[in-house]
Amino acid sequence: MNSILMMRSLILTALCVLSSAHAQLVVRGDLVHTMVDGQEPIRKGVVVCGADGTIVAVGKQGSVDIPAGAEVVEAKVVTPGIIDARSTVGLSGLLNLPRHDQEQSDHSGPVQPELRAFDAYNGRDPLVEWLRGLGVTTVHTGHAPGVLVAGQTMVVKTDVESIVSEEDMLRPMAMVAVTLGKSDGGGQVAGAPGTRAKSVAVLRSELVKARERIRKLENAKEGKEPAADLKLDTLAAVLRKESPLMIEAHRHQDITGALRLQKEFAFELVLVGASEAYLLLDEIKAAGCPVLVHPTMARPFGDRRNMTFGLAAKLAEAGIPFAFQSGYEPYVPKTRVVLFEAGAAAAHGLSPRNALAACTIRAAEILGLDGMIGSLEPGKHADLAMFSGDPLETVTRCSGVVIDGKVRSSESR
């Protein structure tokens, strides 16, 4: 009899474990910002997450079926997971010690597009966990500005601790990072030779070589293709529009330099920083390139001396796509929280709706991932951030984070 009872207990325990492993998660919020274009926030809303990590349903409480046995989480305000459109987190770490956790820049040469971000990424760094606890579920991270061609970037979720294969990332090679002008420290870009004109000439020379590389590959007979060239093959991918060239440029002459390069070589361009973009709104709009706005907390000196807290509002008024970034400076802090950047922009002329969009759906669009993340819609990844109040207020705390339908943080921060 005891053996029968014991067997029954083991079966029931196994069933409970199996059931919990496939249980769905339901998030209910007093206010749910879906960030779907044209859709107002839902009061008394609910988001149903499927066992496969995607969103099953979104709607008002009472109009959406709650699966039996689902785990229910309550929140004041719910948004899509926050997206950092440009960071170095995971390559730059919490300790800020060059020999321990600073992998974001290699100064051994001016042109190094072959450096892959995921070869240096440390998802277990406490800085990644810190961002996740504040609602950031996805980061576009990689090599830092300050080197002429610093290397590649990638897009990864903040719950990925180790990169084993390309499947662990949303985009293994998202963009190639370039810096025109002076470095963030105000001095010459590392490894770049001489003047602004010389830096552009070096970059043009490499792009010409990459264009010739494409021609040779296309004309090569089968079995007689040229040997691999990591540097030129990476730049060739940029010219084939497989990945954008992400150019950090703050002064107006560096921004126009970037626009001229785009026109000459017809690559996809993403402008970063762009402190003086307000002087060139028509030209930037005509070029069709988005802007990753400089952090408001960046120090306004050197190339950034003419920055303005109102840049995001000016871009919105001009109809230029933009998103917020935590950015990078060669000093502490090595990263920021883009939600604070959105709040600062909202305090300087940008509408709250556009501010929240610039670190959710608009960031996803610029990264080419809006079919997966950035808004709360059925079929998209179940990435959510929960808050104690208005996400753009500095006194608001992040009360929970969900990534791929699983609670990854429940500590109030």
Q: What are phi and psi of 57, to 5 degrees?
A: -155, 150
d(CA 365, CA 375): 11
Average pLDDT for the chain: 91
**pLDDT tens-digit series, residues 346-371:** 999 999 999 999 999 999 999 999 99
Q: Domains of the chain by range and CATH? A: 24-81+374-413 (2.30.40.10), 82-372 (3.20.20.140)
Nearest to 86 by CA among 369, 328, 277, 290: 328
**pLDDT tens-digit series, residues 179-222:** 999 765 555 566 666 789 999 999 999 999 999 999 999 999 88
This prediction has a pTM of 0.92
Length of the chain: 413
**pLDDT tens-digit series, residues 13-40:** 443 333 334 459 999 999 999 999 999 9
**HSE-CB of 186 using CA atoms within 13 angstroms:** 7
d(CA 361, CA 391): 15
* Per-position b or e across 354-373, b if 16+ CB within 10 A of its CB: bbbbbbbbbbbbbbbbbebb
Mean pLDDT, to the nearest integer, of 241-246? 98
Strands (E), 283-378: 291-293, 322-324
**pLDDT tens-digit series, residues 298-348:** 888 889 999 999 999 999 999 999 999 998 877 665 678 899 999 999 999
